[in-house]
A and B are shown apart, each in its own frame.
Chain A
């Protein structure tokens, strides 16, 4: 069986995705676990011109940096390709599976440090257009 790996994008135009990687877990409070969509996780800040970042989740602050990946990652999507002309008694394996490259990842923002507990409500050090209330996360 052969599954083609397809790519609709050209070399220089493959959509770039990003990765934020944390050691440890981010958990939502139990009441929110089934409806995570659109919920804020936290705030990613770049305090200076260095590639250093902080990630504030709830009352914890993580420190990390943006690093290029040694080898690029491809984002692949599994698809079932249905052939409308197939007859009923043809091989079921012929509604073939396809893999499509839908993105490429060349950099990640990696947080390796122990989270620093913020003992008071995090004050935005950077002016934002909109004040965001703390998210519904404990840790």
Chain B
């Protein structure tokens, strides 16, 4: 330790024996020491910190957060009106033989003005989508990325994992989960969101090939699917991404049996609903007609699948439907409810629930969310409760 100190220090003070005393003095290097800070932490975070797995993240205009491998914490400074004397340990290089006739002193290096505390928060992932949407992946637009300068890459909305860590206030695990939730894919080392129209082309081609070749949508062989799409001119990584986006793995690859996938009926049906509603709101009958035409022959669609994806309104005698996806909404509760109540002043619980069930505030259960951000009206006990803005 670079702190020169007298014999004694923290250990002598904390181990003070019964019927003894220790002199307390200002340290030879006593001062403001603004570079020293006190951070209160939970015992359970100690291993991560001591093994160098913790970092602070944030841009200069953001409130700093502390990230462990899996969680994010806001750092709050609490001042104190008490006098908090900070006593360092004594210099370990001093041996007990030298200066044994010097008094034992506990030296105060600094008076602490406050203590930093950690408050668990949800990761701030809205920025991630903004960044990745700057340059959605479209193969025909792609330039030779390697030839671009670093600065240009940044301007072009191209981000590697390290670039995202630098910009997003979330732990590594939460950032990975955020990328998965956005269905982002790593292409040539850069994390990309694939342009929607392009994904539609890939998926449609996959389904077309399935029909032509008699493939079962419950047991698609990865090698066959990817191989055929590649032959059709699609990048291999995107073909695989299509399976990842719209399906789930059924079988791990081993030896001669490659991986197998099953297409998820719900995600495929939602995809086609979004395509149909791209042009804006439609009358319910027209929508259902168009939607059913697009669903693959061996799949069946039900309206319940579109929970959290569409809004239905009665205008006069007609029922209209339009796209409104929970994935397009802000992830922080305050902002989410602002958008929801701007869309509709009053919500019945059954309509509201799909749009808030993914919200998370550490320490606050979902009922608490409703209490905090909405006003509930329920004229009679068996009437449907209705929620509006606070």
Contacts and interface: CB of A to CB of B under 8 A. Distances in A.
Contact of A44 (B40, B59, B66, B106): B106
A119 interface: no
B106 to A, nearest CB: 7
Interface residues of B, number: 60
A46 B86 contact: no
Contact of A37 (B19, B23, B30, B49): B30
Given A5-B52, A6-B52, A78 B35 contact: yes
Interface string B1-29: 10000000011011011111111111111
Contacts of A10: 50
Contacts, number: 184
A36 B27 CA distance: 8
B267 interface: no
Interface in A39-88: 39-50, 53, 55, 66, 71-79
Contacts of A26: 83
Interface in B27-61: 27-30, 35-43, 46-47, 49-52, 54-60
Interface in A85-101: 99, 101
Contacts of B230: none
B235 interface: no
Nearest to A3: B56
Contacts of B49: 5, 7, 74, 101
A19 B56 contact: no
Contacts of A72: 40-41, 43, 46
A38 B85 contact: no
B24 A43 contact: yes
How big is the A interface, by class? 35 or more
Nearest to A10: B50
A130 interface: yes
Nearest to B21: A45
A75 B86 contact: yes
B284 interface: no
Nearest to A11: B50
Contact of A11 (B11, B46, B112): B46
B187 interface: no
Contacts of A17: 10, 86-89
Interface string B55-92: 11111100000100000000000000111111111000
A115 interface: no
A21 B165 contact: no
Contacts of A43: 21-24
Contact of A38 (B13, B25, B58, B165): B25
A70 B36 CA distance: 21
B1 A71 contact: no
Contact of A18 (B1, B17, B87, B101): B87
B89 to A, nearest CB: 5
A31 interface: no
B27 A37 contact: yes
A4 B22 contact: no
B10 A16 contact: yes
B89 A41 contact: no
B56 A20 contact: no
A124 B55 CA distance: 49
Contacts of B47: 11
Contacts of A21: 82-85
A41 B24 contact: yes
B103 interface: yes
A46 B30 contact: no
Given A16-B14, A75-B36, A130-B103, A103 B89 contact: yes
B38 A44 contact: no
A5 B46 contact: no
B152 interface: no
Contacts of B86: 17-19, 75
Contacts of B27: 37-38
Nearest to A41: B24
B94 interface: no
Interface string B220-245: 00000000000000000000000000
Nearest to B116: A76
B119 interface: no
Nearest to A26: B83
23 contacts: A1-B57, A1-B60, A11-B47, A11-B50, A15-B10, A16-B89, A17-B86, A17-B87, A18-B14, A20-B13, A20-B108, A38-B25, A38-B26, A39-B25, A41-B85, A44-B23, A73-B39, A75-B37, A77-B36, A78-B36, A101-B49, A109-B13, A129-B103
Interface of B: 1, 10-11, 13-14, 16-30, 35-43, 46-47, 49-52, 54-60, 66, 81-89, 101, 103, 106, 108, 112, 115, 165-166
Q: Which 9 A-B pairs have the closest CB atoms?
A: A18-B10, A45-B21, A49-B18, A18-B87, A20-B85, A3-B56, A78-B35, A40-B25, A36-B26
